[in-house]
Chains A and B, each alone.
Chain A
Amino acid sequence: MKNTSLTNGNRRQFMKAGMATSAALLSSSALAQETVLEPSRGPGRTVMEMGYYGERSEYVKDARLKGNRGTGLIGGSLTPLQHGHGIVTPSGLHFEVHHSGVPDIDPSEHKLLIHGMVDDAKIFTMEDLLRFPSVNRFHFLECAGNGMGEWMAPRGQTVQQTHGLTSCSQWTGVPLKIVLNELGVKTDAKWILAEGDDGARMTRSIPMWKAMDDAILAYAQNGEFLRPEQGFPLRLLLPGFEGNMNVKWLRRLEIGDKPWWTHHEDTEYADPRPNDKIRAFSFYMEGRSVITSPSAGMKLNGPGFYEISGLAWSGAGTVKKVDISTDSGKTWQQANLEAPVLPKSHTRFKMPWTWDGKETNIMSRSTDDTGYVQPTYEEMYKLQGPIGMMHNNAIQNWHIAQDGEITNVRL
């Protein structure tokens, strides 16, 4: 045996000594052992010390990045996509945008009023809504302004800053069409106004065809009730439509025959186009992808094997393929799409790659099942005009320097 003296104060040595002693008590043959096994950690935290809601390890520091305008009431946070795995965003890291802070709503008092061009106007409690047949669906949400700051020039230092206004969850709720069909929607009703119960009483006009297609009155996210930032106790989910339309803290649905042109439809969420025009009701978040690892802010640890991993999504359908270039766009290879590959959901793509240690650029390009191909910045400028804010879905390039440093550079 090695030195087991306790006087050297070394805890590890002490543990070894303790182990040896207790082993000796159990079996004298242990003393005959030539080598000492790596000691066990011994007992951990007790049940009494556990919380009733599990917490992540203290060593895991992934965090949202907060931003706000002036008052702190208008603002939100971005998801750390660079640390994500698979397709589900942890609820506590889901991006958020608010227009008058996060309200604190008691679900036992929350009500949804549906009125306007229906036979029976009704008020639903949460209890009522929970009694309807429900669905579970994986869907991404993306703020129309995701990548707003990147329009003119690359500015974000990480993929969280460039693309962090998108997240993906499994949502549970009642298909809106089930509820509407029961109320008897008038035949010439074409639009629905959704209103939130936040301080800004946020409103958006939603086309009836979307409501009758795949819209969900969602009350749960990733197996538990919604987080307050995500609209607790009730939000509208319009799969594939710009985040702002997925009205949170949903309190009212008004059925009408024309759009209302609410504040957000008139301004922030209307997109400048070429030819002096502004496009309203853009609705769809079109096909997009980004390599999340390796990505800007990271450093490759010398030449050798790396797994390229990223996310692709399309508000119009299902991701069909993702091509990756590791030679600055000269050649492209198809990445593996990892199951599940679901409509209007984040899709994880991966590709093995051996870096030769030379300076290069890597990028991804998605194609969805409508045939839509993610544009380059040049192509997007042609369509949307050189100044824009919303619906940036251009191909993202990451520059890799010879020392492995990765930065956000436009080619």
Chain B
Amino acid sequence: MSYGPMHRKEDARFIRGRGNYTDDVRLPGMLYGAILRSPHAHARIVSVDTSAAEAHPKVRAVITGQTLAGLNLAWMPTLSQDTQAVLATDKVRFQGQEVAFVVAEDAYSARDALELIDVEYEPLDAVIDARNALDPGAPVIRDDLEGRTGNHIFDWEAGDRARTDALFEQAEVTVAQDMIYPRVHPAPLETCGALADFDKVTGKLTVWCPTQAPHAHRTLYAMVAGLPEHKIRVISPDIGGGFGGKVGIYPGYVCAIVGSIVTGKPVKWMEDRSENLMSTAFARDYHMRGEVAATRDGRIQAIRVKVLADHGAFNGTAQPTKFPAGFFHVFSGSYDIEAAHCEVTGVYTNKAPGGVAYACSFRVTEAVYLVERMVDVLAAELGLDPAELRMRNLLKPEQFPYTSPTGWEYDSGDYPKALRLAMDMAGYDKLRAEQADKRARGELMGIGVSFFTEAVGAGPRKHMDILGLGMADGAELRVHPTGKAVLRVSCQSQGQGHETTFAQIVGQELGIPADDVEVVHGDTDQTPFGLGTYGSRSTPVSGAAAALVSRKVRDRAKIVAAAMLEASPDDLEWADGKWSVVGDPSAGRSMAEIALAAHSNLELPDGVEGHLDAVTVYNPPNLTYPFGAYICVVDVDPGTGQVKVRRFVAVDDCGVRINPMIVEGQIHGGLADGVGMALMQVMAFDEDGNHLGASFMDYLLPTAMECPSWELGATVTPSPTHPIGAKGVGESATVGSPAAVVNAVVDALGPYGVRHADMPLTPANVWRVVNGDPFRTDLAIP
């Protein structure tokens, strides 16, 4: 019963090696698939010769773009209403793009056979740097699209341009800064893959796949492949991390399905790590120019930004249809700003598709990074302490609910309290004194502050859908005769611990132990429809559904209890986990007693069915807006350029915490992401479009050595719109922390006149600055 730290139910299997990830699933007669990928970023396919591969004794099928074209499956829709090649027919458009699919008796033979496929390419000029995509002479990447003469995808804007520009014209102080949020990849340790099993006799297709959105996948398979939806079952078993990279449908999934239909056998395809890094959803890749207008005493009046968004070769971002730049327009952040305006232009390049992934809350990450860097740039211009400048501009508690200049309705918050707590925990003044001492001795120490407001828990469905599917989540709850319960939800955990947290929600609402609640998820045949787990929406949406369906059950239990107590339901009250007659709590009936009665021969009032269960669909009235204040302390070695994160203080407010242990774990993980992105991780390309980060030797992820011991603090401001006052938290730290790290490094490099530096702040990049070169703002790694 009740909220609080509770050991996770899912741990019992994981610590014994008994998790069940997609690659652990084995079926009798199963075959193995492998994908041949393009070595070129942009090339015309002249010919594909599969005869030698087909002659391999262990090969059962070779599928090419031509095979798929015959089935009308060579192209599939993306989540942004574009199309994407499943297997290339005409051209390849990024290095690593899928060209052919081999099905063989074992995984090693499938890979051997890839070497036997002969593809003749005619290389074409490639567009790698988004800044060249709109040049008049740029090669047209998507000549497959009718009438397409350039690489422009969309222009989109939000906010009030006239008012913003007017404030800029009159402003006492303005600052501007170009910055890049580089392309990164979520790199969950489990790669993507699928096991497809098409049963010709029953016509049923079962797909095991680590998808964060099993129901969306089922519906899309039905729409794309023309298979009847009730004959499709998507099972998302245990997922080895997702972080947004496992939302979309990848060509390999479709290939595995086609492979199973063609061979009549189950076909498993698991990508390797370089395939994962080269072809599955990247994140960010925003080239931004931010500007801030302020008074000389540090009152921020307006903010505007222009963005050039690199969407890769196919526009495949996973985000609500209405918002081609995701929630980027929440970029006025946590501050009381009069006016704001943003313009975003999306372009195609010869790089992998994606853009919205990696715990970004539909691009709140980019928005927070932009505003938090701009505040520091302004602080430097005004000669003000960055924490003090934030304090002067933060929204005040009495301003909530607050409508932002771009139309967001922030639900609740006490921002100054969170920042003050973070400063107290960090010993901010002492740190500044230490920094001054060190500077005097020529040592480089930096203190970085960031404050973020997240926007998570999409819908409402009126405003938020993916390919027409509204973002509302179902839940079903059944209480068995002995008072044990089973909750079925549509979202799918990738490590967030839903089996525990959701059981706690039901337990709290029904007055039964969380251990008595089984949570079923990740199987479309067993769970109600819903849009899945991403954008920190599980607790805000499915968690709310779990609470509300429990309340429905509780209301039904009230009628049963009234019959048991021979009282009117109106005379009953819910107290201490029991229904009892007002004023007589001792005779109350527990949920277990009521459940048994509901299944018994007890006479129930007319119109009341027996048993104890309910279904619901939760369509959130608004997003939830978690927030937090982060402070990072770094030491920079001027001799090597190495940045050491010495301390990281994180105060998070995600409303009511159901299981604080799990919440803190989510924050820890996101903070490591922030350190990784700020200092190490980048998906770089050379000018021919060769991927320079296609393995973990080149795409560096933080280990235990790069991470400090995180220092966490909490404030609790319940969400007024969520039934239990909770807000999402899964992505808060990934959203909020990169700016704190970068601000700290820039602060450390202050003596060199540095005001901005683009991620990743690798030793080479930092060393260059220390040695008198300007920071590089382009991302080609020398």
- Verify that A and B bind, or say they do not: no
Residues in A lying within 8 Å of B, measured CB to CB: none
